[in-house]
Chain A
Amino acid sequence: MPILTIDNQQIEVLKGTNVLEAAKGLGIVIPHFCYHEALGAVGACRLCAMNFVEGPVKGIQMACMIEAKDEMVITTTDQASQEMRARVIEWLMMYHPHDCPVCDEGGECQLQDMTIAGGHDIRRYGGKKRTYSNQDLGPFICHEMNRCIQCYRCVRTYQDYCGGTDFGVLGTNQRVYFGRFRDGRLESPFSGNIVDACPTGVFTDRTFRYRTRYWDIEEAPSVCPHCSLGCAVIPGGRFRELQRVRGGVNKQTNGFFICDRARFGGGYGNHPERPRVPRVDGAQTTWPEALRALRKRITDLVARHGPGAVAFLGSPRASLEANYLLDSWAASLGSRRIAFDSHWQHDRSARVAAGKLGPRAASLEDIRCSDFILMIGVDPLNEAPMLALAVRQAVRRGVRLAVIDPRPVTLPCAAAHLPLAPEALPDVLEALAGGDIRRLGRREAVLLEGILEQLRAAERPVLIGGPDLLGAAGIERLLDTARLLASEHRPCKVMTVLAGPNSFGCGVLARQGPDFEAILNGMLAGEIKALVCLESDPMTGSSDPARTGMALGKLELLAALDYLPTAAAHHAHLFLPTTAVPESAGVYVNNEGRMLLFSSAMDPGTPISVSGGGDHPPRTFLPATPGSEPRPAWATLGHLQGRRLSLRDIRQAIEMEHPNFAGLSSLTTGGEGKRIADISPPPETAPEIPFPHSEGEGTLRLYAMEDFAGSGELAGYASALAPLRPTPFVMLGALDAKQRSLSDGQQVRLRSELGGVGVALRVVPDLPAGIALVPRLRGTALESYVPGRGHYDCQILSEDEEKT
């Protein structure tokens, strides 16, 4: 490890570190633009000049381009290098427009900071300035090219890191331009990252356009609740409204970047119909009244029918603390009827992951550093977008990627795709674990043999699976496969994508408890009279919405604690408002088993933009903030049990009761989190997804799949994501489409047990025969098709056929 001297201070750094990073380690921050830890150095901005006095290189050099070596002696404070930096920043500022007051970056602009740091304070250039025309880059990104300083960070982020192809650098000479070939929405699902990457105001967040200055926004390190990966995000609010989300840094999960769903999907807490006041039997009431009513009704029911008459439903989007308190409340009442996910297959998968993943759990960083990746039954871009980006980083290094999935898995990188029907996936896993490979077709067997060969040769292979197609049994089989493929010297890691941000934590809490299917049967049989839903909506969350709706109708008491205007919250006899994720603190356990702390960025309340109707805030004095009734779910649940608990108390209690969560109370926000200890007993053998044989001529097996912006519960309530939601469509293989003489883009009629619906047809060349796919799109006719519950029998007819 090289030891070098910078400004008379010695530092030892890892081999391969550049001098700029080494200086940063000493607390010497030299102005720079083009260097970014995730993007690397290109030496384009010429700003990080240092004077190399002794060592292998001499003279004024760009520190980011020089690797730290032994015996280097460097100064940053000498006149020559300071003068150089001051000149460079003056050149960069020469054409920079005089528009900081109307620029959204103002206040958090690296160019502003670096201009001052570089010593340039008075403009000497008095001539005319260069200008550019801007492009319309869609609903998320604003373009203002005049401000550009040509550091190339946007291109390196968009093309190199995120794999976007529709944006780049154009022009020559003084006309270098960063944009698209023609106007239009940036197509990459990671496009928002150029807002974070741009050191000045060329790319700004359009959803945050002219809303707030950096110094006014209330921010706190948090965790994204949109999928199970637990990416670090920094939500920011002002005037009681969540206004933007930007990427946080967690090198074990997302690294530096986040997906557009996380960035632009934060508006669920601002939903205009968000219920903010406690309700009893449809009438708004006060907190003490509502709490008393809930306690009384539950006590009455327990007295009349026994503790088994009250069931509880936790949620993978509620914090670990709230889920734990729900569990302890159920235990204190003597009820053992508690499930933590209304989708039983997701619940079972989470339990398998929580019980059996163990040290084989791969983090996103492990995936970025892996040398062979096999994805089976997982569609990262729609289920866990940052996983696709992590996989891309591995592929950029030349790593091979194989995908076995019936869906047309789109990825921002090259992959070998083997489209197999979902029913064949268990056989594939069997074959990988050393079973008979010839049970599959010949072409599949050849490909699979190649995959196996590479899997055995790789030093750090990673298997990735998802619960929607594999199910709990498949995930279990995937973990067994990894165990068989691993040896003492060569780990074979696994990543299982789960349903929600806290699915893993719920899986640990659930242990051997019942799943929602058992509770549903209890409700239908009339044994369960009351259901308490914590931040969950069984109406849309369960795998059989129709049956759930029927069961909920039979209840004497449906109590809901939530911050979304869900169906369950709407129909609840007793409703208690809770705080949304950016307004609350807690812990999520991501799909890898990493405990991640999120803290509260703002207090709940009706946004001023709503209470003022777009104009100035009301001219009245009020003793309390309007709409500030929501309370953190953990506080309410503690109160209901008559306990006054702080978050710290709850975390200590969790540690005492579940030793897996050791270290929970010493976690800090903004860190990398801590993986839980793997001491859960393995769960009972997971049930398989049923694959009954389809009946009838021309019947297709219809599978529902996740959609990037349309399927998630939270994403469904985020209005900013609307432009990303597709119009309903069904996907069909080329052969099946030809048999039915249907063509791409045609309007067809989709008929299944859930009724008929008109959708557009997309013909996918390599979709396996006999399979059709629909995305689950909330708020459309495709809402009731739930991914991860096996298939629906369906028929696809052209509109004319339907009439006859």
Chain B
Amino acid sequence: MAEGIDVYKRRYGQNPKSLWRDLKGTVEPFYVTLRNMFKKPVTYQYPEEKRTPYPRYRARIVLTRDPEGGERCVACYLCSAACPVDCISMQSSEDENGRRYAAWFRINFSRCIYCGLCAEACPTLAIQMTPFYEFSGRDPLKMVYEKEDLLIADGGKDNEYNFYKHAGIGVANPRGGNEDEYGPVDVRSNLP
């Protein structure tokens, strides 16, 4: 009991400004409402009126292409590992040139929370977030996107980077032919 009184006193009793504060607290909201009644409303009349989000807005995910038009995704599974809701699944494979790619790549958008961790984890800039937010549906299966639904024609936010030009495994250029590499060493040489 005594504790309760202490708490009340601490909060209200020993404060000489408390009456003034209470009065202000009663009147001020009316003032704020009154003031805003004559301003232009901030509400957008969605869906009639659409808003353009910032480029970094995180909505529908896409798979981009490198400057040469090849698929950037190397199916390294980092996005699916980073995904907190496990909505990304894929199977990697190898083509005849030794290029690692996704045989299939699936994002279940009905599960996706658009956190952007996949895009952050992607080492090849393949998976990117776009501002396309109008994204809903009644059939959950229609929200399951396969690779062909996800792939876009360009590099998205970056049109320069090509992972295979830096990876050193001889896919974009012959082995040792990238800019940041020496040519293959001659193992049989005895020179110092």
Residues of A within 8 A of B (CB): 97-102, 106, 127-134, 144, 146, 170-175, 177, 179, 209-213, 215-216, 239, 608-609, 612, 614-617, 619, 621
Asked if residues A130 and B167 are in contact (CB atoms below 8 Å), the reply is no
Asked if residues A101 and B123 are in contact (CB atoms below 8 Å), the reply is yes
Given contacts A146-B169, A175-B187, contact A102 B76 (CB under 8 A): yes
Among B92, B106, B166, the residue within 8 A (CB) of A98 is B166
Judged by a CB distance under 8 angstroms, whether B183 is at the interface is yes
Q: How far is the CB of B150 from chain A (nearest CB, A)?
A: 11
Q: How far is the CB of B112 from chain A (nearest CB, A)?
A: 17
Interface string of B86-101 (1 = CB under 8 A from A): 0000011110000010
Q: How far is the CB of B130 from chain A (nearest CB, A)?
A: 22
Chain B residues whose CB sits within 8 angstroms of the CB of A175 once the complex forms: 185-187, 189
Chain A residues whose CB sits within 8 angstroms of the CB of B141 once the complex forms: 619, 621
Q: Report the stretch among B26-34, B49-57, B174-182 that lies at the interface.
A: B174-182
Asked if residues A102 and B74 are in contact (CB atoms below 8 Å), the reply is yes
Q: How far is the CA of A621 from the CA of B185 in the complex (A)?
A: 54
Asked if residues A170 and B74 are in contact (CB atoms below 8 Å), the reply is no
Asked if residues B123 and A131 are in contact (CB atoms below 8 Å), the reply is no
Asked if residues A101 and B124 are in contact (CB atoms below 8 Å), the reply is yes
Asked if residues A131 and B182 are in contact (CB atoms below 8 Å), the reply is yes
Among A101, A129, A213, the residue within 8 A (CB) of B74 is A101
Asked if residues A132 and B104 are in contact (CB atoms below 8 Å), the reply is no
Judged by a CB distance under 8 angstroms, whether B146 is at the interface is yes
Q: How far is the CA of A615 from the CA of B169 in the complex (A)?
A: 26
Q: How far is the CA of A127 from the CA of B92 in the complex (A)?
A: 31
Among A98, A131, A609, A615, the residue within 8 A (CB) of B185 is A131
Chain A residues whose CB sits within 8 angstroms of the CB of B74 once the complex forms: 101-102
Q: How far is the CA of A621 from the CA of B188 in the complex (A)?
A: 59
Asked if residues B94 and A609 are in contact (CB atoms below 8 Å), the reply is no
Closest B residue to A608 by CB, please name it: B91
Besides the known contacts A101-B123, A131-B184, A215-B81, 15 further A-B residue pairs in the complex with CB atoms under 8 A apart: A98-B167, A99-B169, A102-B76, A128-B182, A131-B181, A131-B182, A131-B183, A131-B185, A146-B169, A172-B189, A179-B187, A216-B80, A239-B91, A612-B104, A615-B103
Chain B residues whose CB sits within 8 angstroms of the CB of A612 once the complex forms: 104
Count class of interface residues, chain B:
35 or more
Q: How far is the CA of A399 from the CA of B93 in the complex (A)?
A: 47
Chain B residues whose CB sits within 8 angstroms of the CB of A101 once the complex forms: 74, 76, 78, 100, 123-124, 163, 167
Q: How far is the CB of A344 from chain B (nearest CB, A)?
A: 47
Judged by a CB distance under 8 angstroms, whether B147 is at the interface is yes
Given contacts A131-B182, A133-B184, A215-B81, contact A173 B192 (CB under 8 A): yes
Asked if residues B176 and A131 are in contact (CB atoms below 8 Å), the reply is yes
Closest A residue to B164 by CB, please name it: A102
Among A127, A128, A134, A209, the residue within 8 A (CB) of B94 is A209
Among B91, B104, B169, the residue within 8 A (CB) of A102 is B169
Q: How far is the CB of A625 from chain B (nearest CB, A)?
A: 15
Asked if residues B106 and A130 are in contact (CB atoms below 8 Å), the reply is no
Q: How far is the CA of A215 from the CA of B78 in the complex (A)?
A: 10
Asked if residues A616 and B76 are in contact (CB atoms below 8 Å), the reply is no
Chain A residues whose CB sits within 8 angstroms of the CB of B183 once the complex forms: 131
Q: How far is the CA of A621 from the CA of B139 in the complex (A)?
A: 12
Closest A residue to B73 by CB, please name it: A101
Q: How far is the CA of A170 from the CA of B189 in the complex (A)?
A: 10
Chain A residues whose CB sits within 8 angstroms of the CB of B167 once the complex forms: 97-99, 101-102
Chain B residues whose CB sits within 8 angstroms of the CB of A172 once the complex forms: 189-190
Asked if residues A97 and B168 are in contact (CB atoms below 8 Å), the reply is yes
Closest A residue to B183 by CB, please name it: A131
What are 26 A-B residue pairs whose CB atoms fall within 8 Å in the complex?
Answer: A97-B167, A97-B169, A98-B166, A98-B168, A101-B78, A101-B163, A128-B180, A128-B181, A130-B185, A131-B185, A134-B175, A146-B169, A171-B187, A174-B185, A175-B186, A175-B187, A210-B93, A212-B77, A213-B76, A213-B81, A239-B91, A609-B91, A616-B106, A616-B147, A617-B106, A621-B141
